[in-house]
Each structure stands twice: as C-alpha cells, then as structure tokens.
A and B are shown apart, each in its own frame.
Chain A
Amino acid sequence: MTMEDLRSEAGFDPAEVETVGLDADDRPGASTGRRTDPDGDDPASPRRRFELLDDTGFDEVPAKYRRFYRRWQGEADVLAPNEVLCPVCKVVIRSARELRPGDRVYCMPCMSRLEVVRAASGRLEAIVRY
C-alpha cells in the first residue's frame, strides 16, 4: 500500500458508515466494523465514526468549528483515534472519523494543512504539507 493509495481513499464520504456514539472509543455502539488490523491502516477496514461534541472549551476559531479542536494537555495527553496534534501550534485536531495515515486534516488556529502519518513509535502524527 503506497501513500498515494491511502491518499486517494482519504476523501470523506458521509455515506461511508453511519454516525455513531460520542468521542470515547469504549462507549456502547461507538464503533462500527471492528478492525482486524491493529494499526487501523488497512483501507479496506471500515472506519469508526465519531460525533464531535460542541464544547471542547476551545475558543480560538469561529463557534461552528470549535468542535474540531481542543487544547493539548501536554505529553501525558492520550489522543483518541480521531485526533492528532498540530506540530505547528500544538492544538489537538479532531475529525468526525477515525484517522489513518494519508489523511489530510486542517489546523484552523494556525492555518496549516497537515497529513497524518504513522510515526516510528506507532503513534499517529501530523506533518505539515505546505
């Protein structure tokens, strides 16, 4: 699987899977289609969907976008499968679906376009795509 392959399937399709659950993975009914690949990188496996709560306490973007961001709590902050840290301004970016390598996300607070990658540590990270 090349990065280009992953990128080509990265477009959001609202009909892809049904909207489920709230933010936490472990909520009843929070995921659809259990993954068989531990990293979740297999594009054939369904993505979990996340309903983003309106109020994360983040107030640096227009109200309608605030649910896509939250403050980073530092190194001990464990990111959910639909979250990634912006390397430019250190804000947590949130998506309505589980993130995978090759996905594109935008950081509105610092105006950056980012690509999700899997770091050597196994964690999902974001790199800037100018």
Chain B
Amino acid sequence: MSLDPSELHTRDHSGFLAEVQSFEFWFQSVEGYLHDRPYGVAADTPMPELEPERRRALVTTLSTYCVGEVAALEGASGMIGFAPNRATKIFLATQAVDEARHLEVLLHRLHELGEDDAEATFEARSNPHLLAFRDRLLRCVAERDWLASVFAQNVVLESMEFAAFHSHAKTADPRTAQMLSGILKDERRHIGFGENDLGRHLRRHPADRARLQTLKRELDPLVLACFEDSLARLGISASERPDVGRLYLESVARLGIAG
C-alpha cells in the first residue's frame, strides 16, 4: 500500500513500515541519486591527479572500506535466512544490493587510482581491527542470532561507516567525495532500520539489553580504533576530527544500551 503524500505524517505505523521497507520504495529512492551516475560518479567529474603519498593513503582507506562493505554484504544477505518476517527479508535484500554496489564502486575507484588488482589485495591492506570486527559479525550471523547481528551490523558498523564516510567526503577529491556521498544516502536507511528494529524488540524484551551491552563492550574498541585510524591516515588531525562515534553513541543511548 502506498502512502498518500499529502497526509504522510498521519498514517498508521504499520502502513508506514510496509512502504518504507518495500523494494518499490527502495527502487524509487535510489533512482533519485544514482541515475546517470555510473559507479556513483557523474561522468563529467574530473579525474584528479593525487600526490603519491595522498594516493597511497586513499588506497589504504578505500581498502578498509571494502572490507566493511564485504562484511555488510555477507551479513545482510546471510540475515535474510533468519529474518523474522517478509518485510524484513525484503528490506535486507535491498540492503544487500546496496552493499554490493558500495563494494563495486569502491573497487572501481581503486582501479581508477591505479590498483589493477584491488580485489585481490584490499583485504591485506585493510585495518586489522576491522577484520576482527568482520569475523565477529559473521559469527553472529552464522549462529542465526538476530539481535546480535542487527546490532553489530546495522547499529555499530553502519553508524561508524556513516560517520567516517561523512568526514572523509568533506576533504576528499571530487570523484571520491561524490562516490562516498552516494553511499551515505544508502546508509541512512540501514542505520534507521537497525535502531528501529532493535528499539521495537527491546521495548517488549527489556532484559535483552544486558546481552547487547556485553556485545557492545566487545565490539566498541575494534570499530572505534579502525575508523579513528582511517581518519588519521587521511590527514585529518585529532583536533579537526569530528567525534567519529557521536552518531553511534547517541543511538545506543536511545536504545538504553550505552555503557
């Protein structure tokens, strides 16, 4: 069922969720910002010449991003198998497509930067903390632990990526910035899905907060260290760096699992 746009804010919650988690909603949303942007970049965007050191730093950072996207791609697609209902399965299918696209545009940008064998080498260049995080996330998925998987992927990983990409896009070359901007637009859906799904669950099962707090304490150091390192590598000094974890910290505070 489609919402009447003239009365958007007065619709019932279930009708709203049915629409925003649909494939149709996803398709019409991404069409707005991906149309005519092959690999996430407008064709007339100039190809910048980067200094060797800056290029190396960018290659390393994009390689780390690739690991995050592969983790999210495998995570989202794996979660479809034990998602609690049809709407959630469909939303996760759209997220899996988003993550696949992110990986593809990142690899394409690495090719543009002269990394012809990027697919075979990005993992070796990636931050070790993120590799550890990925392993933990995929273990949650393999155990079919819905709560832990949603938290690790859609709250922790997605909000950290959102903050890191947002900061990076401000200082990046035009092609990288445009590519990251397109990814950020997808991330809003992923973050919101995670917080709202967990929020609804925790409202009914408040005792589950303790388990998520334990997982949070395990994951926090891995992801925070990874993205702090990535921003430092890009030359964003600590004083200039925004609080990378703010969005994430606000989210876990709203969910009642901070600390």
Check A62–B192 contact: CB distance below 8 A: no
For residue B17, which residue of chain A has the nearest CB? Answer: A111
Contacts of B20 in A (CB 8 A): 108, 111
Residue contacts A-B, CB under 8 angstroms, 14 given: A12-B10, A14-B6, A60-B33, A61-B29, A63-B28, A66-B32, A87-B250, A88-B192, A104-B9, A106-B11, A110-B195, A112-B196, A128-B195, A130-B202
Minimum CB–CB distance for A11 against chain B, Å = 6
Question: Which of B134-142, B172-180, B183-191 lies on the face that meets chain A?
Answer: B183-191
For residue A116, which residue of chain B has the nearest CB? Answer: B9
* Contact of A125 with B by CB under 8 A: no
Q: Among B33, B192, B199, which residue has its beta carbon within 8 angstroms of that of A89?
A: B192
In Å, the complex CA distance between A105 and B10 comes to: 7
* Contact of A107 with B by CB under 8 A: yes
Minimum CB–CB distance for A10 against chain B, Å = 8
In Å, the complex CA distance between A41 and B195 comes to: 30
In Å, the complex CA distance between A108 and B192 comes to: 9
Contacts of B193 in A (CB 8 A): 110-111
In Å, the complex CA distance between A103 and B9 comes to: 9
Q: Which 8 A-B pairs have the closest CB atoms?
A: A110-B192, A130-B199, A62-B28, A59-B32, A12-B10, A111-B192, A89-B188, A64-B5
Check B8–A128 contact: CB distance below 8 A: no
In Å, the complex CA distance between A113 and B21 comes to: 13
Interface residues on B, range: 20 to 34
In Å, the complex CA distance between A108 and B199 comes to: 17
Check A130–B203 contact: CB distance below 8 A: yes
Check B32–A95 contact: CB distance below 8 A: no
* Contact of B111 with A by CB under 8 A: no
Given A61-B28, A128-B196, A130-B203, 5 extra CB contacts under 8 A: A68-B8, A104-B10, A106-B11, A110-B188, A128-B254
How many A-B contacts if CB must be within 8 Å?
92
* Contact of B82 with A by CB under 8 A: no
* Contact of B200 with A by CB under 8 A: yes
Contacts of A95 in B (CB 8 A): 9
Contacts of A107 in B (CB 8 A): 192
* Contact of B39 with A by CB under 8 A: no
Name A80-117 residues within 8 Å CB distance of B.
Answer: 87-91, 95-96, 103-113
Name B27-43 residues within 8 Å CB distance of A.
Answer: 28-29, 32-33
Contacts of A96 in B (CB 8 A): 6
Check B25–A91 contact: CB distance below 8 A: no
In Å, the complex CA distance between A59 and B185 comes to: 9
Contacts of B21 in A (CB 8 A): 111
For residue B11, which residue of chain A has the nearest CB? Answer: A106
In Å, the complex CA distance between A67 and B9 comes to: 13
* Contact of B13 with A by CB under 8 A: yes
Minimum CB–CB distance for A83 against chain B, Å = 12
Check B189–A110 contact: CB distance below 8 A: yes
Check A12–B199 contact: CB distance below 8 A: no
